[in-house]
């Protein structure tokens, strides 16, 4: 297909920037990616993306977009030892006091370290002939035509030179993350600022990488163990990664930050509601020190509500909305936004931003509702509780309980969690009937569900 537009600039070469470039690559003759860091050859954690040291779950929705955009990439990651499998059948989920029913859900996904996934995508993007990377360069600001309000380019300052240069562009995409300067740039250029909302959560992460041995953690791809709100402020995430490793992240909400001192970190793991994480971290060989991260608040910028917006300018990824990382949504939302960008470009550059935001907003709305809905269960989290939220929360607690025994309810729960179905689908008559008619189960259930030792179809025991 001939490419219809001349040049685009993408600011930021992290997950949302790379995925946006992939979306643009079929539409633009030249795409320039501006990135502050000098990008590593391999899968190192770099300064601009410090969160990459921590467990990054990829939702099935994100997996599907990446698998479609980069054919064969998931197989290559699997060959490096990152397990591909059923995210319900091959994974352990302990939430709301019970194990989710482990069964073949058909929801295929991967567990892989964040730097390895980003490096694989970066490699694919660098191989595209119409893409150039300008690394070690600060994005200074976009330029606009004052008369038409259209983007004309983007000013960059390479770190090794004192002079700035302007890159011409028909489209500029800001994928520079949570600290994006777009609100300031748009205001300075006379377009006004987007309204901003935040839900403070004070989440802390502390992560260590361990050696992964066959048979660890019920031979699964990993597990999530979380406490029950409002008292249970702690969670542990264990994700199998390439090269026989486990990425183990302990997290706490509302200021219950996990420590970085080894003994206290293990004690934090031991305080989780079941012993699986503690057993792993006290038996496996640690490969790194413990590193920490603090995440203050869910943050959303409502660009879709702006009265005036420059044509040829877009904002995507964490720069629009950054979610409490506990729900593992950011990379997948960025992937779905890239698809929205791709679709929106099919009908031209004119009117791109309302078309893009109308689509992107739908997925951001859902992910925001899931993340903040769960966060607002903690009384310490400030924010407007929607009317009926107590009743809804009680219903969702039943969903969690029934999902430990009923495959239909369990599958629907994971469809929603993976942004494949809207939360309202948990209230459909087919699901609601099963949720309400079934007696609430007792006890914590079993990490095996309907799976039996040896029945795991693929997983971490593969080299």
Ligand X SMILES: Cc1cc2nc3c(=O)[nH]c(=O)nc-3n(C[C@H](O)[C@H](O)[C@H](O)COP(=O)(O)OP(=O)(O)OC[C@H]3O[C@@H](n4cnc5c(N)ncnc54)[C@H](O)[C@@H]3O)c2cc1C
Q: What residues line the site for ligand X (CB under 6 A)?
A: 11-17, 34-37, 48-49, 51, 54-57, 138-139, 175-178, 205, 293, 295, 317-319, 325, 328-332, 334
For ligand X, the closer of residues 207 and 404 by Cβ is: 207
If the CB atoms of residues 216 and 337 are measured against ligand X, the closer one turns out to be 337
Cβ at position 416, least distance to ligand X in Å: 16
> Which residues contact residue 179 at a Cβ distance below 8 angstroms, ignoring those fewer than 6 apart?
none
**Is the CB of 317 or the CB of 449 nearer to ligand X?**
317
Give the residue ranges of DSSP H helices in 73-164.
73-79, 114-126
* Between 324 and 404, CB nearer to ligand X: 324
Spatial distance between the Cα atoms of 186 and 338, rounded to a whole number of angstroms: 22
What are the CA-CA distances from residue 187 to residues 8, 141, 190, 195 (Å)?
A: 22, 12, 5, 12
Instruction: Give the Cα separation of 297 and 382 in Å (integer).
Output: 11
Provide the residue count of the chain. Answer: 463
| Residue 19 beta carbon to ligand X: minimum distance, rounded to whole angstroms | 8
CB of 238 to ligand X, least distance (A): 12
Q: Which residues contact 68 (CB under 8 A, 6 or more apart)?
A: none
Degrees to nearest 5, angle at CA 229 with 333 and 377: 65
- Across 64-217, where does the E strand assignment appear? 84-86, 92-95, 98-99, 108-110, 131-135, 137-145, 150-158, 165-168, 171-174, 195-211
Instruction: Look up residue 69 and give its two tokens.
Output: 């955009």
CB nearer to ligand X: pick between 269 and 326:
326
Q: How far is the CB of 196 from ligand X (least distance, A)?
A: 16
In the bound state with ligand X, the residue whose beta carbon lies nearer, of 12 and 258, is: 12
Which pair of structure tokens corresponds to residue 160?
A: 């090794």
Smallest separation (angstroms) from ligand X to the CB of 58: 6
Compare residues 28 and 293 and give the one whose CB is closer to ligand X: 293
CB of 323 to ligand X, least distance (A): 7
Least distance CB 239 / ligand X (angstroms)? 8
């Amino acid at each position: 297909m001939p490419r219809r537009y001349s040049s685009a600039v993408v600011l930021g070469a992290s997950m949302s920037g790379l995925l946006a470039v992939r979306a643009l690559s079929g539409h633009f003759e030249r795409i320039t990616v501006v990135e502050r860091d000098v990008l590593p050859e391999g899968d190192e954690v770099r300064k601009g993306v410090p969160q990459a040291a921590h467990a990054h779950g990829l939702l099935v929705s994100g997996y599907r977009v990446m698998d479609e955009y980069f054919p064969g990439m998931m197989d290559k990651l699997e060959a490096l030892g990152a397990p591909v499998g059923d995210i319900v059948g091959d994974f352990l989920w302990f939430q709301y006091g019970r194990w989710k029913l482990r069964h073949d859900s058909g929801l295929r996904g991967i567990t892989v370290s964040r730097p390895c996934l980003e490096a694989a995508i970066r490699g694919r993007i660098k191989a595209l002939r119409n893409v150039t990377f300008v690394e070690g360069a600060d994005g200074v600001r976009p330029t606009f035509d004052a008369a038409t309000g259209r983007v004309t380019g983007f000013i960059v300052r390479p770190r090794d030179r004192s002079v700035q240069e302007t890159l011409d562009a028909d489209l500029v995409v800001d994928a520079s993350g949570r600290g994006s300067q777009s609100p300031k740039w748009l205001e300075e250029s006379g377009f006004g600022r987007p309204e901003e909302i935040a839900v403070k959560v004070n989440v802390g992460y502390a992560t260590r990488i361990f050696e992964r041995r066959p048979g660890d953690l019920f031979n699964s791809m990993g597990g999530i163990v979380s406490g029950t709100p409002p008292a249970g402020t702690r969670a542990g995430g264990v994700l199998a990664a390439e090269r026989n490793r486990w990425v183990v992240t302990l997290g706490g909400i509302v200021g219950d930050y996990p420590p970085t001192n080894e003994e206290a970190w293990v004690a934090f793991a031991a305080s989780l509601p079941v012993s699986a994480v503690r057993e792993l971290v006290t038996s496996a060989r640690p490969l790194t020190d413990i590193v920490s991260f603090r995440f203050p608040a869910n943050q959303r910028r409502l660009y879709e509500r702006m009265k005036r917006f420059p044509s040829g300018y877009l904002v995507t990824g964490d720069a629009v909305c950054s979610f409490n990382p506990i729900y593992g949504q950011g990379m997948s939302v960025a992937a779905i936004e890239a698809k929205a960008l791709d679709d929106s470009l099919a009908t031209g550059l004119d009117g791109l931003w309302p078309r893009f935001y109308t689509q992107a907003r739908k997925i951001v709305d859902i992910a925001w509702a899931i993340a903040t809905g769960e966060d607002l269960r903690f009384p310490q989290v400030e924010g407007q509780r929607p009317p009926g939220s107590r009743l809804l929360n009680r219903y969702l607690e039943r969903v969690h309980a029934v999902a430990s025994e009923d495959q239909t309810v369990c599958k629907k729960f994971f469809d929603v969690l993976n942004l494949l179905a809207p939360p309202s689908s948990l209230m459909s008559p087919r699901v609601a009937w099963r949720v309400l008619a079934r007696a609430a189960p007792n006890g914590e259930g079993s990490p095996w569900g309907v799976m039996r030792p040896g029945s795991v179809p693929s997983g971490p025991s593969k080299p």
